[in-house]
Structure 1
Amino acid sequence: MNIGNQKVVSITYKLQEGNKSGEVVQEVDNKEPFVFLFGAQQVLPDFEMNLKDKAVGDLFEFGVQSDSAYGPVDENAIVNLPRTMFEADGKLGEIVKVGNFLPMKDQEGNPLQGLVLEIADEHVRMDFNHPMAGKDLFFSGEVLDVREATAEELEHGHAHGPGGHHH
């Protein structure tokens, strides 16, 4: 069976920054493979395009340019927030350190993560860009399994079971 719409796909992969010799950002092995519903807009479009029609046992290697991945760095997503937002009883929380990602919410209550860039007397400088914004990506891996999605998976828009979503 080949990868295509309404198929549940299980893969291993290695994600590297830039190209095949770039820094390894993430590795997913066959003990806990990445499982997703193809065509459900859960992964980057170029990622899906490069896996389409592959079958169990097929190996893959491909790059995704930054503009087709997480886009360029948006300078408007780098902001100074009042230091008092991060304080309790006049002291910064322990996790507020340069280089740490902090779980936060936007004005509509949607979760997002910000990277602490700087801690100043009056503000904390945060970067809300995706960590891979402005970076080309390189994926390599193997297709472990391809199966038909169940009616429930199609209705819910994601894979269930091992490696997938659990309700």
Structure 2
Amino acid sequence: MKIAPKHVVSLTYDLYVKDEDGKEGLVESATEEQPLTFLFGAGQMLPKFEENLSTLSTGDPYDFQLSAVDAYGEYDEEAVANLPKEMFQGTDIPEIGSMLPLQDNNGNRFQGQVVSIAEDSVIVDLNHPMAGHELHFKGNIINVRPATDDEMSHGHAHGPDGHHHH
């Protein structure tokens, strides 16, 4: 079956990202046992990721690259925050490299990575970990099926190959 909006797609992928030396390294994968399953066209995935898959059908292999702009955006030097150490009262100061769950004034949750620790503040990089990187995806389309009415109303895949409500 061909991929189309209102269809649930299951696929395997290997995501490669180049390091500073331009060598590609595998950063994450989805296997046939644990595929990535999503409702196509529901806005859950990067738009350009879906665009690259839109001509494929069940069983098709794919291999494409997304520029940083089409993926998680260019690296933003401004997106670094100084959090006062008082925020961490009663807890340990986080280690450099650790991810902090944060929330903005609108209640949006996101993560920041601790990049350094100053005398009275913790400096956190709010860029997406993949910001500034070109992403290289390779994989296979395992399954394409029409979404159920439930899935359409909820905006995501359910069932053995989808999202579970607890």
Same fold (TM over 0.5): yes
Counterpart of 1:34 in structure 2 is 36
Number of aligned residues: 163
Q: What TM-score do you get using the length of structure 2 for normalisation?
A: 0.93
How far apart in 2 are the matches of 1:84 and 1:164? 41
Which residue among 128, 131, 144 is the counterpart of 1:130? Answer: 128
| 2:156 alignment partner, SS class | coil
Counterpart of 1:86 in structure 2 is 88
Counterpart of 1:76 in structure 2 is 78
**CA shift at 1:21, angstroms?**
5.5
Q: What TM-score do you get using the length of structure 1 for normalisation?
A: 0.92
Matches for 1:16-165 after TM superposition, within 5 Å: 16-18=16-18, 22-88=24-90, 92-93=91-92, 96-165=94-163
- Structure 1: 5+ residue stretches without partners: none
Letter in 2 for 1:9: V
Matches for 1:3-14 after TM superposition, within 5 Å: 3-14=3-14
Which of structure 1's runs of 4+ aligned residues deviate more than 4 A? none
How far apart in 2 are the matches of 1:17 and 1:121? 34
| 2:69 alignment partner, SS class | helix
Letter in 2 for 1:116: V
**CA shift at 1:83, angstroms?**
1.1
**CA shift at 1:81, angstroms?**
1.1
How far apart in 2 are the matches of 1:156 and 1:76? 36
How far apart in 2 are the matches of 1:21 and 1:143? 26
How far apart in 1 are the matches of 2:164 and 2:47? 24
| 1:13 alignment partner, SS class | strand
Deviates more, 1:155-164 or 1:124-133: 155-164
